[in-house]
Structure 1
Amino acid sequence: MNRDAVPSMQQRVTQLALNGALFGVCYPLTHYLAQRHQDVGNVAMAWESALPFLPWMVLPYMTSGLFFVLSFLLVRDRAGLSALSRRVAFATVVACLVFAAWPLRFSLPRPAVDDALPAWLFAQLAAMDRPYNQLPSLHVAYCLIFWAALRTAFNSTLARAALAAWLLLVALSTVFTYQHHALDVAGGAVLGALALHLLPSDGDVRKPVAFCYTVLAGLAALAWFAQGALAWLYLCASLLLVARAYYLHHAAFLHKRDGRYPLWIWLLYAPYLCGYLLTWQLVRWHERHRPPFVRHSEGLWVGRRLTEAEAAQLPADCAVIDLSNELSETHVLRGRSYHHFPLLDLQAPDAQSARPILAAISAHAAQGRAIYLHCAMGYRRSRQIAQLYKELHQQ
């Protein structure tokens, strides 16, 4: 395997921490929301009362947390790590949205446990968990996701068989420890299968970005369940619109014209636009001791979105090429030879998107005019296009 394809320990721990934090926020929140309801139902079927209670099954049940950690540490490549992280986040957020919308509880009384070790483990479980958050079973959904992540980590057929057998025990333990009903298990299996199907390890950069905005929208929806403020639903809808634009690769979704946005765009995307404006202000403060733009090559200046005072430092007859889709253009620069070519943030421009930008730079350069090429923060898009122009010019 290519060494560059192997994720570093920092990348593994970062993804583990993010998903652990996501679970740590969402799962207890939906427990709390269920406890607020006066009458919480269940999906028990009559025949389930005949199922045996097997205290020793708490052993595999409690190893789910261990697999949560090991899957991030042992997954073989970066594509697998990315897919694992997105699948776990998807399962967590979707399950918690269902928990919040349809609170359920386990209905059967758990018998007393006499053996010391299972009794101690059940005591630990009772301290951490509550009889809510039932359908879909996250234990079962996670088992499918962990299997997809870890089955390639072992070359031995025997090791894979042992892994599959233990994960099957974990899934079955949800029933025989009296933690979940059969329909909860079925729902967890469907959720896990959906995570594997909808989030393949295909390396498409735009999908992870769209996915991140979708997860944020899900968190906003959970906040609405918790607080009931309509502002959370507005934030959820706005973030879903951004996610849709990234998924469809719709770079001009904000309809920026002459460096500004129409009012209806502000009404739809105010959280997104304000978030980028705040980020831009933080970047300005963080890099206040550095120049806001640099000379990349003869006649080509590259940087971020500028303030009025910073823009005054540019050459007088400078053409402006704005790649930022998320920030309005500085007033003084809109009055110059201004061109807007929207590029989505956090992804490399493709050849079709780069071609007209490079043509505009070349046209101004042929006239002997200085060019200021910028994106929002000056970190990625402007530098990527400048590098493409440099390579084209060298050819």
Structure 2
Amino acid sequence: MPPLPQLPSRAPPFGWRLRAGHLLLNWLVFGLCYQASAHMAARLPAQHSVALAADHGLPFWPWTIVFYATSGIFFTLVFLAAPHAEALRVVSRRMLFCTVAAALVFALYPARFTWSRPVLDDVFLGAAYRLLDAVDRPFNQLPSLHVAYCVVFWLALHPLLGGWRRAVLGGWLALVALSTLTTWQHHVLDVAGGLLLGLAAALLVRPGTTRQTTVAFYYALMAGVTLHIGWFLLGYWLAVYGAACLALVALAYARRDPHFTRKRNGRHTIASWLLYWPYLAGYRLTWLLVRWRERHRAPFELAGPGLFIGRRLADAEARLLPPDCHVIDLCAELPETPALRRGWYRHLPLLDLQAPRPSQLRAILALMAAQHRQGHQIFLHCAMGYSRSRFIARLYARSLRPCRSRSTS
């Protein structure tokens, strides 16, 4: 079999829409998780204090709220200043990780600042602190998100600056982190926890790896958000179940395991449904919506001599295929149509939205070539018919070109 042809890789578009998308996603996740964790913490019978002896000697400097407030400016600036798409993905995922991880701690271990601030006579500063108290929930202590974000801000922005500008950036972010103490908003342990959280984000989200881990990361993110929102809306057990399911899917994508749903002979086992019901049901619902939206279009198409491609078919649609058409199923998320399981059927799953391994591609292309040499027609399908089946069909057509050129020379 000829070597796999290299399909051209196109870099994702990078512009204001992509920047705005990442920024809005981060603000949305922050708003949802922060509010949900505050509501969950308020329901717990006790709130904790992490004050140390060193905290009693910390001064209250009201004017440092100016530095504290600039964290919101940096929150936006890092997305606007990202020089390329990889840098944007890195800073976005580091921020998302810090937000979701911190909010989980806020909900499970709610901590409050130990003592009250003095009454301020200054009109401006008094209004600033009243606004802070109205916006900032009392349970977001350990770890300090301000400090964790400062670590992310520094890692994202300092490579873009040099000389005195880099020094100004470092000094300003240090003052932002310090202001969490001098505004009497956080304790020393909160700051230490924020530093550790920021460093953990830097270690887990490394530059140059984001394109390979996109799907796994966002499933893990959805698991965290589901735990927050589901706990608040659905209750403890349903939230944990949904989050655990999504976390398992994220793990499967991180391991690049296309067999994680344990689909056998075109069907999912009972254990698979128990483990992955929200995931499998979501794909089923999406398939029904796609089928309804494209009800006036053919469910499959001819992609080459003897090769049909498309989405997962209903029984009535499957009868439109040529008789004795051999079926190659690339879909791990949906059970195979009963009408297609009765004939020649092979299940070679590929993960959705993620590049397959070369060994997987070779196995599928070799099987297709063997079936065509025997004169069989093939129906190649994935879940929705948009990506996997079309990609394999293009790859197969390119793999045949060297053979055709040699045979005609």
1:207-226 paired onto structure 2 within 5 Å: 207-223=213-229, 225-226=231-232
Deviation at residue 205 of structure 1 after TM alignment: 3.7
1:105 aligns with 2:120: no
1:69 aligns with 2:76: yes
Tell me the distance in 1 between the aligned counterparts of 2:302 and 2:328. 15
RMSD of aligned Cα (Å): 1.8
1:178-257 paired onto structure 2 within 5 Å: 178-223=184-229, 225-226=231-232, 228-257=235-264
Give TM-score scaled by structure 2 length: 0.91
Q: State the partner residue of 1:164.
A: 170
Q: State the partner residue of 2:306.
A: 299
- The residue type equivalent to 2:380 in the other structure is L
- The residue type equivalent to 1:177 in the other structure is T
Go from structure 1 to structure 2 and tell me whether the alpha carbon gap of 1:163 and 1:267 turns closer, same or farther (over 3 Å shift).
same
Tell me the distance in 2 between the aligned counterparts of 1:174 and 1:201. 29
1:336 aligns with 2:343: yes
Moved more, 27-36 or 378-387: 27-36
Q: State the partner residue of 2:95.
A: 88
1:312 aligns with 2:312: no
Q: In the alignment, is the contact (CA less than 8 A) between 1:7 and 1:81 conserved in 2?
A: no
Q: Could you list the runs of 5+ residues in structure 2 that have no partner in the other structure?
A: 1-9, 403-409
Aligned residue pairs total: 392
Tell me the distance in 2 between the aligned counterparts of 1:235 and 1:206. 24
Go from structure 1 to structure 2 and tell me whether the alpha carbon gap of 1:256 and 1:37 turns closer, same or farther (over 3 Å shift).
closer
CA deviation vs aligned residue, 1:97-155 (integer Å, no higher than 9, x gap): 1111101111121112333432332222122113221000001001111112222333x
Deviation at residue 225 of structure 1 after TM alignment: 4.6
Tell me the distance in 2 between the aligned counterparts of 1:184 and 1:158. 30
Tell me the distance in 1 between the aligned counterparts of 2:92 and 2:210. 15
Tell me the distance in 2 between the aligned counterparts of 1:6 and 1:294. 29
Q: State the partner residue of 2:407.
A: none
Q: State the partner residue of 1:392.
A: 399
Q: Could you list the runs of 5+ residues in structure 1 that have no partner in the other structure?
A: none
Go from structure 1 to structure 2 and tell me whether the alpha carbon gap of 1:229 and 1:123 turns closer, same or farther (over 3 Å shift).
closer
- The residue type equivalent to 1:74 in the other structure is A
Q: State the partner residue of 1:132.
A: 139
User: Alignment partner for residue 269 of structure 1, among 259, 262, 276?
Assistant: 276
Tell me the distance in 1 between the aligned counterparts of 2:45 and 2:268. 47
Identity of aligned residues (%): 48
SS in 2 for 1:296: strand
SS in 2 for 1:343: coil
Give TM-score scaled by structure 1 length: 0.95
Moved more, 216-225 or 107-116: 216-225
- The residue type equivalent to 1:325 in the other structure is A
Tell me the distance in 1 between the aligned counterparts of 2:226 and 2:214. 18
Tell me the distance in 2 between the aligned counterparts of 1:88 and 1:362. 47
